[in-house]
Amino acid sequence: MAGQKQFSYEPEKLADDLYGIPLPLHDGSPVNAYVAIDEAGLWLVDGGLGDERCQAVLRRGIESLGYAFDKDVRGLLITHGHNDHVGAAEAIAAQGGEILAHRLEWTASHNLAFDESWLHKHGLPAESLTRTDRWRPAAWPQPSRLLEDGDCVRWGGLNLEVVWCPGHTPGLVCLLERDRRLLFTTDHVMRRAPAPVSIRYDASTDPLSDYLHSVRKLAPLPVQTVLPGHGRPFHGLSQRLAHIETEIQHQLDEITEHLRTGPATAYELLSVKALRDHRRPIASRYAVSLVLARLRYLESIGLVERVESQDLIRYALAHGELHEE
């Protein structure tokens, strides 16, 4: 396609025993797998999509390092269970490799489906319900070890500390290599955008509160280099964390300002300027689910209240906020 961005999927050397391999998503944009090496073989952090193209790039990248996927890969640590991070899991498990993931990622994060009738009550047009999208649950094998916050894992040549960071998913983990001052942040902290935090079906959870708490949890860690799930490594973790909070607060402020003109559905709030980037062609249902996470947070702090009728759910400023000058 003319004008489509081109990406390199060549392995990037981060240390003598650590490489990053960018892998292609459906649109060609990269998701990262990291390869740690020791005398026993290779140990992966995340494994890309499960489709043929992505897995072929992963295998070629490993071969370019002088190893073979089927013979040398000893394990996969899954930072979270979205389909663009678990693709290599079945093959690694089938050859006797270890699969590690947080306990909640195995038990609580498997339902990634959208409740379309519920989203329709939040204003999603009926024609949007017929659109297909790539955000669907991914099958991956039961982990051989379930992780908890604070666990220590020897992973290849790395000594990793598990930092549980719910928000993007309930069981997402970041991984701190304290001696090297490295932090694997997966989709929790990326270079240019906050993690997508969504509510896809009616639940009592407040994932944006969880996410903001998890962002603050990383601030005191001794980190020089951030290794994200998408995009290149970067420095300046504390500045990035502060910018994420500022950006989310700006979105929340614009939502509440919009609601001063009257109640609105989550779908109608997609017109808010700070949220327009979410109206990408991934799927309107996904964009609505992102707005709903922000509305749930505003409900939890008492700024917004739900106004339900039989067929529609709208949101309005809470009574005290509405009359505040």
Q: Is the pLDDT of residue 116 over 90?
A: no
Please report whether residue 96 resides in a domain.
yes
> Does pLDDT of 3 surpass 50?
no
Whole-structure pTM value: 0.92
Checking if the pLDDT of 320 tops 80, the result is: no
Q: How many domains does the chain have?
A: 1
Quick one: which of 9, 18, 40 has its CA closest to 181?
A: 18
Query: To the nearest whole number, what is the mean pLDDT of the chain?
Result: 91
What 3-state class would DSSP assign to 102? Answer: strand
What pLDDT, on the 0 to 100 scale, is given for residue 5? 65
Sign of dihedral through CA atoms 56, 88, 186, 98?
negative
Are 297 and 291 contacting, i.e. CB atoms less than 8 angstroms apart? no
Q: Is residue 5 part of a domain?
A: no
Sign of torsion over alpha carbons 215, 221, 222, 226: negative
pLDDT in tens, 33-54: 999 999 999 999 999 999 999 9
Which of the 8 DSSP states describes residue 263? Answer: -
Angle (nearest 5°) at CA 310 between 307 and 288: 60
What would the mean pLDDT of 198-224 be, rounded to a whole number?
Answer: 95
Residue 1 is predicted with a pLDDT of: 41
Q: Which residue has the tokens 């983990």?
A: 173
Specify if 3 maps to a domain: no
Q: For the chain, what's the residue count?
A: 325
**Model confidence over 230-250: pLDDT tens digits?**
999 999 999 999 999 999 999
pLDDT of residue 108: 75
50 domain-assigned: yes
Six token digits for residue 17: 């025993």
The two structure tokens encoding residue 175: 């991984």
* Amino acid in position 133: D
What's the one-letter identity of residue 276? R
pLDDT greater than 50 at residue 294: yes
Q: Is residue 1 part of a domain?
A: no
pLDDT of residue 7: 87
Q: Tokens 């973790």 map to which residue?
A: 237
Work out the average pLDDT over 138-161.
95
Evaluate whether residue 75 is within a structural domain: yes
- Structural domain of 220: 12-107+114-322
Question: Is 281 inside any structural domain?
Answer: yes
Contact 54, 87 (CB under 8 A): yes
The CATH code of the domain that includes 271 is 3.60.15.10
Within-domain flag for 7: no
